[in-house]
Structure 1
């Protein structure tokens, strides 16, 4: 199945049937998220994988009672760095240089430029930039799930502050951005099943110069 075919197959599943997604498929989705591009390769976000039923029930109460949170097999929470710091930038490039067999001097000038750009900025500005990087990974995970015929529901409808509290994200310097429940559609009870996918026509979607 091509990516275009997979994207035509997928939809934002509103009701899941509780069936477990095989771990190997979850691993593939998470690997796609991990391999997604990010600005300067910093990967300024984490993915929290929630499977505990009690924890999912707690999160449901902070998700406008959306049932996908508890009916999903796995709930992925994408959480971005609350700020860019010298330590975080150094850690990312130390790993990069180590994996590539490069001395620190090889990237020293580039790292200095990054720090001069990020560190003076307000934390909220940096968080918003990190959140945009998380969204790239989020979209990549959605695409991979579709290729594997795993249903996924992109969600912004949740109380970010409560998620951060329940998952203890603040203690890790993280703030929740988006949520992606993974599972399988309930074909008997999901009102969206079988409805035509509707998107803007190319004539209005594309602006060609």
Structure 2
């Protein structure tokens, strides 16, 4: 497989190859250069307004990962995978967060921050006086799932296995990782690494509805 260019057939093949890995080879680690690409897939993920209301914690401490198994319904993936990513939201995103984002935009694009005031006022207005059905934490969580999708897709293209997980106690994760004091809250976790050949789920056919049942063209 060409490392820089993928044919449509190759992309589809990797999407078929991917599955929610249940058993990871604990002795096999993701090479550093490959991990750096996956790291950047999280950094480069898009978000609403570009605000990035998140932080991604990569848990490397084996004792902490062992402790998290108990709070993950006993699922060993969080301990056995090469890497464990905990995707969190920043609690109560506010105007100060927007100002930090605008300052970063000013630096990256070499644009006076004063020229970004219109954008800033729009985003702040959305956060301060949102639609009636709007909940900031729910909105932030939706952005996190975009990043998760980026991470998993890039992993599949690099033949790195992943297992997105909601089967855990978010409050316990926050407690173990000390996230409350940092102003973050766990939303979803994703172990990444390499499957073991004995994982019976690896070769099971994907059960998906027919394309025409889930996709409709409106001309």
TM-score range, shorter chain: over 0.9
Give yes or no for the alignment of 1:35 onto 2:44: yes
Q: Return the alpha-carbon distance in structure 1 between the equivalents of residues 36 and 69 of structure 2.
A: 24
| CA shift digits 1:13-64 (9 cap, x unpaired) | 0011111111211111110111111111111101100121101011111000
Look up the match of 2:21: 13
Q: Return the alpha-carbon distance in structure 2 between the equivalents of residues 103 and 4 of structure 1.
A: 44
| CA shift digits 1:87-106 (9 cap, x unpaired) | 11100110011110111121
Q: Return the alpha-carbon distance in structure 1 between the equivalents of residues 126 and 169 of structure 2.
A: 31
Q: Return the alpha-carbon distance in structure 2 between the equivalents of residues 3 and 171 of structure 1.
A: 41
Contact 1:80 1:127 in 2 (8 A): yes
Alignment of 1:158-177 (within 5 A): 158-177=168-187
Q: Secondary structure at the match of 2:135?
A: helix
Give the one of 98, 113, 128 matched to 2:138.
Answer: 128
Alignment of 1:154-193 (within 5 A): 154-188=164-198, 190-193=199-202
Q: Secondary structure at the match of 1:57?
A: helix
Give the 4+ runs in structure 1 shifted more than 4 A. Answer: none
RMSD (Å), alpha carbons: 1.4
Q: Post-superposition shift, 1:74?
A: 0.6
- Structure 1: gaps spanning 5 or more residues: none
Figure out how many residues of one structure are paired with residues of the other and give that number. Answer: 207
Give yes or no for the alignment of 1:152 onto 2:162: yes
| CA shift digits 1:157-184 (9 cap, x unpaired) | 1100011111111112111111110111
